[in-house]
Chains A and B, each alone.
Chain A
């Protein structure tokens, strides 16, 4: 292994037996029953198996930040668990140089009955710190957590936010050579998240290597110049983040939204989402300020009364840009049944030059239960000047003027009166 490679994976694979995972014998009775049927009937069902991870090979150099992306069940967590030695690979091998810290879940190992102070020591130890090390870093950990006042209270009385703060504060001081992060930054309020991201950056500056699993493409984009994209357990892409995110985007098109769990209430189905220019030509690249025509085709085997169509526009890095709602716009759709389509014509879009994705949600009766939720196509907005790095989410013209010094507040009160007020 060359000097600057700190992780090398060679054809790593992890196989799960469906028999062992899905219908495992959790009681001896089941095991006996199947053993008996195996002996008497001699017809044991062939056990299914699947590879949660297959043939994963890559090298990661010292100081690199690499994002691991992929749809649910693509093997991201299995990869991190394998590298952190929680699970043993079925085949292949990996070599890791240096101290590895894995944060797969914030606060695992906390004990509810113990105080914050006691838990700092416990959790630090569980994450792999020496006891003396925790003691030496104690003050900094307590300060980082921002809950110094409650350190002598049992953590069972903590709010979930406090719990996470304390846990992350400990984890952040692990100071590993290699850090594996699984979706853990997606907790806490915004300010704390920012603090966490800043901390990850400071680790980066100190030369730590970070492997980062997230569904938040914005964090991936800000933290990792390189991504490894997993699909069904296999590495299908390893390279620059923009390219990888594009691939990920293509795969996640027209799939059910990640947070959405279909129930028996989810009766309708979105069969297609298409984008057109104002005059009805199919289009995927729009100019800044252009109007967008979105056509949503649906199939509703059972009638849905007064549905509310919601159309979300999300930047590719997951920034939530805006939402169009038929109910909010006062467009009453009486009911949908069978096949049909709904069309939206937006105002001139003020979104800056970047890539975006459309997401469609149909809710029943105004804002009640969700009947369908689907990701739609993505599109580009073009403008040579207005981009996300410099101009944020949207660009709107403002009126500017240049005068002398600002008006003196002590000047004649009459002159400061806003016109129209008495």
Chain B
């Protein structure tokens, strides 16, 4: 039936500016990533990140001070356990606290991004079920929001270095691309874990273990040199190895970054990321039905 029940009012709507035509159809194709749409929604991404930051330390007595307390406490614990009691050697003359801090910083950023990215879809279930937007924004905002804590931590590290009488060299600018790499890795892993978490909530319980095991598989509390030579190639498959080693080099200016390890890590990240995008898009249409 195509009866018109109302005179057309097209003339009365000069405000119409967008005549975007949207096609809705069953999802098809493996490589229909719709990244352009994610870009169109960048305003919402900014809002989600802003919200995560606003909410983070609300109703906490110490408020944003936690952004400083958390990494400092971790470094103190690591220094006591690994630096003082176990006497883990550090390369060159870097004091253990600086050695640990330079690794805790990118590590915490990566871990937090992963935690948010993997759990985000389920935690944001309400809006996923009732509002349309590219779901990719959720792991993306998960990887972006912890950058603020990261920046604050970096400031603390620089102050700590000055207290130890160490001046950062020009290498310090490398922390920006290194943080980007850590963020991309967190995003890449989230793109895999997030959709699995929607279907199997086991992921939520698994993530803390993944993060813990991954930390001990990365040179956070110990130097790379402690790993036996014949296993280095396997070790380098962990992209965080390159990131953390690179970070130590960027901050302290000592040693030489292992470009091979970093290259291997980058290739892995790209593969994980592209695969993750396809996997995520493939499952995206079912999120609202399953959450």
Residues of A within 8 A of B (CB): 1, 3-4, 12, 16, 20-21, 24-29, 31, 59, 61-65, 81-100, 102, 104-105, 108-109, 111, 113-114, 118, 121-122, 125-128, 130-131, 154, 177, 205-207, 225-226, 238-240
Nearest residue, chain B, Cβ from A133: B43
Which residue of A26, A64, A83, A154 is within 8 Å of B24 (Cβ)?
A83
In contact, B199 and A25 (Cβ under 8 angstroms): yes
Cβ < 8 Å to A, chain B residues 121-166: 126-133
Most chain A CB neighbours (cut-off 10 Å) among B8, B46, B130, B202: B130
The 7 tightest CB contacts between A and B, nearest first, are: A207-B13, A88-B285, A125-B47, A93-B25, A225-B5, A108-B130, A63-B9
- Given the known interface contacts A102-B132, A105-B130, A109-B126, the answer about A97 and B288 at a Cβ–Cβ threshold of 8 Å is no
Which residue of B12, B44, B59 is within 8 Å of A126 (Cβ)?
B44
- Given the known interface contacts A125-B47, A207-B9, A225-B5, the answer about A99 and B20 at a Cβ–Cβ threshold of 8 Å is yes
In contact, B131 and A90 (Cβ under 8 angstroms): no
In contact, A97 and B8 (Cβ under 8 angstroms): no
A126 to chain B, nearest CB (A): 5
Comparing B50-58, B90-98, B235-243, B249-257, the segment that makes contact with chain A is B50-58
B251 to chain A, nearest CB (A): 34
* CB within 8 Å: A-B pair count: 159
- Given the known interface contacts A61-B8, A62-B13, A121-B47, the answer about A126 and B18 at a Cβ–Cβ threshold of 8 Å is no
Which residue of B21, B23, B289 is within 8 Å of A20 (Cβ)?
B289
In contact, B27 and A88 (Cβ under 8 angstroms): yes
Which residue of B8, B19, B48, B133 is within 8 Å of A63 (Cβ)?
B8
- Residue pairs across A and B with Cβ atoms less than 8 A apart, 23 shown, are A1-B21, A4-B8, A63-B9, A63-B10, A64-B6, A81-B288, A83-B24, A88-B26, A88-B285, A94-B23, A98-B18, A100-B22, A108-B126, A109-B126, A111-B51, A113-B55, A118-B51, A125-B48, A128-B133, A131-B47, A206-B13, A207-B12, A226-B5
B144 to chain A, nearest CB (A): 15
In contact, A126 and B127 (Cβ under 8 angstroms): yes
Which residue of A31, A98, A99 is within 8 Å of B200 (Cβ)?
A31
Counting contact residues on chain B (CB < 8 A from A), the size range is 35 or more
Complex Cα distance, B2 from A91, in Å, reads 22
Nearest residue, chain A, Cβ from B12: A207
Residues of A within 8 A of B285 (CB): 87-88
Residues of B within 8 A of A108 (CB): 126-127, 129-131
In contact, A86 and B9 (Cβ under 8 angstroms): no
What does the 1/0 interface line of B37-78 toward A look like (CB < 8 Å)?
A: 000000110111001001100110000000000000000000
In contact, B19 and A97 (Cβ under 8 angstroms): yes
Complex Cα distance, B7 from A61, in Å, reads 10
Nearest residue, chain B, Cβ from A98: B19
Q: Is B1 interfacial (CB 8 A cutoff)?
A: yes
Residues of B within 8 A of A205 (CB): 12
Residues of A within 8 A of B199 (CB): 24-25
In contact, B43 and A95 (Cβ under 8 angstroms): no
- Given the known interface contacts A20-B290, A114-B51, A131-B43, the answer about A4 and B131 at a Cβ–Cβ threshold of 8 Å is no
Which residue of A81, A95, A109, A114 is within 8 Å of B127 (Cβ)?
A109
Nearest residue, chain A, Cβ from B23: A95
Complex Cα distance, B4 from A226, in Å, reads 9
- Given the known interface contacts A62-B8, A95-B23, A95-B24, the answer about A125 and B44 at a Cβ–Cβ threshold of 8 Å is yes
